[in-house]
């Protein structure tokens, strides 16, 4: 079940379980496979009854889909997590400092560390945010850092998600499902909790209340509506935080504040956790055709009348060309070398880099600078000659839209299959909360798994599933 060239997170090369998995492995060996298969079906039914589904954009015939859930947890030792947490915190601090800088003095550009065109030509950069000071100077209230592993001590950052990171509801539901299905596992394994995330999220957002807030902050979640692919998560988080779930038509500007419609009339909102993209946030400032946002909300934001989380314009830091500068960005704002490494990256806007990418296309992973969800990318080793030819044409036509990276030997974690355990590639998205009170990193995060043998694509829209992620407590 193992490949000697890949790092198996559960098993040592000699087939014995690694220390973090020892208790789970003993439990699993003693279990009846028929019972486990029944439990797996029971978990699937629970997800379906709960309504944990997603929509696939661009496929009107797909309808709502259930995200596959695998019952074999991904287990991370306390020592490993402590090391990861330091790197994640360092990176998130640097991201927030970077965003403040590019919307103010742009010292990183003045110092020659980052080329001016990386900002000026970046479609996610919002000129309207220049000079704006968000409450508490926090731009990235909620961050998801995508990590991959290639060895015992080697983790890489694959992507930064500071715009609207999604998936935290699956992290929480995966844990609830495992607790319900296999309570005995949590007696034998000291697993750190994730269930306090909604409470911590509410507290963190409340700590970012604007100057206009008078009393206990009112928090609301802004959703595009029921047809959005992540609507389940929007409603789930609002419910878990005891916050209001609102759409743009529920809000209006009243007496210099953004207010929501209630049975007692319009009541002011202090913090708006928005799951609407920048361009649709305010038709008076951005896209005039938007029906999803609130006319005038950006003027209220600039005046300190409301906190918008995450701040408009944070998408610059999700840009994959900016990602390639993250080691320099971390060093510039922290004075330290990055504790978490980037995947080596070629910027296809550079002629020499483009020549290298075109010459080695079949060995590389090529991504759109603003792409997400596994769309718009090429995995060279798995691509057909037709796909390679088509992508070569895209690169030659608009090279600045792409970056390229080597194909990493991603670690594997077993999934529960009909014939026993089978190794599959995984990534990890830890979730980070940022406020003036500090940085809080939920122990674990969302593990996404490529359910197809040999596949490196873990996105649910591309056939991936999820696992519960355990971070063990210190012994």
List pLDDT tens digits, range 209-235: 999 999 999 999 999 999 888 899 999
In this structure, the answer to whether residues 149 and 126 fall within a common structural domain is yes
Is residue 278 in some structural domain? no
pLDDT at res. 235: 95
Q: What are residue 267's DSSP bridge partners?
A: 260
Residue 4 pLDDT exceeds 50? no
In this structure, the answer to whether residues 402 and 326 fall within a common structural domain is no
Cα 306 to the chain's mean position, in Å?
Answer: 25
pLDDT at res. 457: 78
Of 406, 422, 442, which residue constitutes the final position of a domain?
406
Whole-angstrom Cα distance, residue 269 to residue 171? 28
List pLDDT tens digits, range 94-109: 999 999 999 999 999 9
Q: What is the DSSP string of 198-209?
A: HHHHHHHHHTT-
Is residue 261 in some structural domain? no
pLDDT at res. 57: 47
- Average pLDDT over the chain, rounded to an integer: 92
In this structure, the answer to whether residues 366 and 438 fall within a common structural domain is no
Domain containing residue 40 = 19-210+306-342+408-471
What's the rounded mean pLDDT across residues 195-222? 97
In this structure, the answer to whether residues 113 and 158 fall within a common structural domain is yes
At residue 53 the predicted structure's pLDDT band, cuts being 50, 70 and 90, is low
In this structure, the answer to whether residues 98 and 118 fall within a common structural domain is yes
In this structure, the answer to whether residues 467 and 358 fall within a common structural domain is no
Residue 287 pLDDT exceeds 90? yes
What's the rounded mean pLDDT across residues 298-305? 97
Least confident of 61-75, 183-197, 328-342: 61-75
In this structure, the answer to whether residues 35 and 94 fall within a common structural domain is yes
Is residue 249 in some structural domain? no
In this structure, the answer to whether residues 311 and 390 fall within a common structural domain is no
Please name which of 145, 150, 122 lies closest in space to residue 330, comparing C-alpha atoms. 145
Is residue 217 in some structural domain? no
At residue 3 the predicted structure's pLDDT band, cuts being 50, 70 and 90, is very low
Name the CA dihedral angle for 150, 460, 457, 348, rounded to a multiple of 10 degrees: -100
How many other C-beta atoms lie within 10 A of the C-beta of residue 453? 11
166: CB partners within 8 A, 6+ apart: 144, 230, 233
pLDDT-above-90 percentage for the chain: 80
Cα of first residue to Cα of last residue in the chain, in angstroms, is 30
């Amino acid at each position: 079940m193992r490949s000697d060239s890949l790092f198996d997170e559960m098993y040592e090369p000699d087939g014995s379980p690694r220390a973090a998995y020892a208790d789970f492995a003993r439990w699993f060996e003693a279990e009846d496979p028929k019972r486990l298969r029944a439990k797996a079906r029971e978990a699937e039914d629970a997800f379906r009854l709960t309504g944990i589904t997603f929509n696939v954009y661009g496929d009107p015939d797909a309808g709502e889909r259930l995200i596959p859930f695998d019952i074999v947890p991904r287990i991370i030792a306390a020592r490993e997590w402590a090391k990861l947490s330091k790197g994640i915190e360092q990176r998130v601090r640097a991201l927030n400092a970077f965003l403040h800088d590019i919307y103010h003095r742009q010292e990183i550009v003045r110092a020659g560390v980052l080329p001016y065109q990386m900002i000026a030509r970046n479609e996610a950069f919002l000129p309207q945010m220049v000079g704006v000071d968000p409450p508490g100077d926090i731009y990235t209230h909620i961050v998801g850092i995508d990590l991959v592993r290639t060895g015992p001590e080697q983790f890489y950052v694959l992507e930064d998600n500071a715009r609207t990171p999604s998936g935290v509801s699956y992290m929480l539901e995966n844990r609830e499902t495992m607790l319900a299905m296999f309570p005995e596992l949590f007696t034998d394994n000291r697993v750190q909790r994730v269930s306090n995330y909604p409470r911590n999220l509410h507290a963190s957002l409340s700590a970012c209340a604007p100057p206009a807030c008078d009393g206990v902050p009112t928090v609301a979640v802004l959703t595009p509506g029921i047809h959005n692919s992540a609507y389940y998560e929007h409603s789930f988080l609002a419910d878990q935080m005891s916050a209001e779930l609102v759409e743009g038509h529920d809000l209006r500007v009243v007496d210099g504040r953004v207010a929501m419609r209630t049975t007692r009339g319009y009541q002011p909102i202090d913090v708006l956790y928005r799951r609407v993209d920048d361009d649709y946030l305010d038709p008076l400032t951005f896209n005039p055709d938007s029906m999803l946002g609130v006319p005038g909300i950006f003027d209220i934001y600039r005046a300190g009348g409301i906190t918008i989380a995450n701040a408009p314009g944070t998408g610059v830091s999700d840009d994959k060309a900016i990602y390639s500068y993250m080691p320099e960005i971390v060093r510039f704002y922290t004075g330290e070398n990055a504790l978490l490494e980037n995947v080596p990256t070629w910027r296809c806007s550079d002629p020499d880099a483009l020549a290298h990418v075109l010459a080695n296309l079949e060995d590389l992973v090529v991504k759109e600078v603003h792409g997400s969800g596994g769309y718009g990318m090429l995995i060279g080793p798995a691509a057909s000659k037709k796909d390679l030819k088509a992508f070569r044409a895209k690169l030659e036509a608009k090279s600045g839209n792409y970056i390229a990276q080597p194909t990493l030997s991603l670690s594997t974690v077993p999934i529960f299959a009909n014939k026993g355990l089978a190794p599959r590639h995984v990534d990890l998205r830890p979730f980070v909360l940022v406020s003036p009170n500090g940085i809080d990193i939920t122990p674990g995060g969302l593990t996404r798994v490529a359910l197809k043998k040999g596949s490196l694509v873990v996105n649910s829209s591309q056939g991936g599933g999820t696992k519960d992620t355990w971070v063990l407590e210190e012994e």
